[in-house]
Structure 1
C-alpha cells in the first residue's frame, strides 16, 4: 500500500493544531470573547479599535507597544469578516510574531488620526520604541500563513460553543426549539 509522504505544509498544520490545543482555550461565544484570555497570556491589555482607514491600508492591523496592544479592524466589512480579522490578529499575538518597527506611509495616513499621541511617539520613536506592527495584507509570509491558520482555529473554537446542559441559556434554547416544533405548545 502506498503511503502519502507528509509535506511541510501538513507538518505545519499539525504543529498549529497542536499549538491551539495547547492553549487550553476557555469556552467562549465569539472570538472577541477570547480577548481577556489573550491579554492574560501576553501580559498586556488589548484594545479592539474599529478603524475606517481606506483601501490602501490592510483590513486588519496589530500594534504592540511595551504597555499595550491595539488591534485595528475594518468596521465597514461584515461582522463575520471582522471576527476573522480579529482572530487573525489575536493569532499573531499568541504566537509572539514581531512585525515592522516603523509605519509604512500608506498605513500611517489613516491610522495617525486614530492613535494617542503617546502611542505614535512610541511607534515612530528611535528603533520603534519597542513597538511592533503587523498589518494583514497577504499570506506569502510564513507568519501570515500561520496566523491565518491559527486564527481560523480560534474561530472554529469559538463557533463550537454550546451552553452547558441545564443552564438557563440551554433551557431557553430548548424551549424555543420545542415551541417551533409544536406551535400549540405553551411558552
Structure 2
C-alpha cells in the first residue's frame, strides 16, 4: 500500500469501505484482516510502557509490524489504542527515534540486528495524529457487536473542533 491522506471523517469512512472488510467484532480481528490484505503480519502485544508516555507504539520490523499496547489499558480504550496504531500503519506515518523506550519494549530484543524501527510520535496535535484518530474512529464505527447497535461512542467532529 502507498501512503494515503485522510483529512476528515468522511474520507476515513470511504477508505474503510474501500477495504471491503468482512464484519469484525474486535480490533484483533481487524488486524488479522489488514494483515491478509497487506500480506504482512501485524502482531499485537501488551507491555508496561512508561507513564507518562505513549499508550501505544508501532514497531516496524523486517518481516512484520508489531503494535505494542500499554498493558494497563482495558476494554474500549485498549481497542482504540490498537485501532489508532493500525491507522498509523495503514497511513504509513513516520515516527521518531526514542532510544529510551527500547529497554521497556522486549519485542525489540528479538530483532536487534534486523533493523526494527520504533514508530513513536511526540506531537499529539499533529496532522498525522488527527488522521490516525479519525481513521481509528471510522474503524470503530464498523465494529459489530451483537449486544449493541453499531456506532461511535463519541463525536469526532466535536472532539477536534474543541466544542
TM-score, normalised via structure 1 length: 0.66
Number of equivalent positions: 142
> Which residues in structure 2 correspond to 1:91-170 (within 5 Å)?
91-100=87-96, 102=97, 104-111=98-105, 114-122=106-114, 129=115, 131-135=116-120, 137-158=122-143, 160-162=144-146
TM-score, normalised via structure 2 length: 0.75
Structure 1 residues 57 and 28: alpha-carbon distance in aligned structure 2, compared to 1, 3 A threshold = same
Note the C-alpha offset of 1:139: 2.8
Q: Which sections of structure 2, spanning at least 5 residues, go unmatched? A: 1-5, 148-163
Bigger relative contact order, structure 1 or 2, given CA contacts below 8 A and separation 6+?
Answer: 2
| Distance in 1 (alpha carbons) for counterparts of 2:14 and 2:61 | 28
Deviates more, 1:44-53 or 1:134-143: 134-143
| Distance in 1 (alpha carbons) for counterparts of 2:82 and 2:20 | 19
Q: Which sections of structure 1, spanning at least 5 residues, go unmatched? A: 1-9, 123-128, 164-187
Larger Rg: 1
Q: Are the counterparts in 2 of residues 60 and 73 from structure 1 also a CA contact under 8 Å?
A: yes
Q: 1:74-104 CA deviation, whole Å, 9 max, x = no partner?
A: 121222111010010111122222323x4x1
Structure 1 residues 57 and 106: alpha-carbon distance in aligned structure 2, compared to 1, 3 A threshold = farther
Structure 1 residues 73 and 145: alpha-carbon distance in aligned structure 2, compared to 1, 3 A threshold = same
Structure 1 residues 142 and 34: alpha-carbon distance in aligned structure 2, compared to 1, 3 A threshold = same
Query: CA RMSD of the aligned region, Å?
Result: 2.4
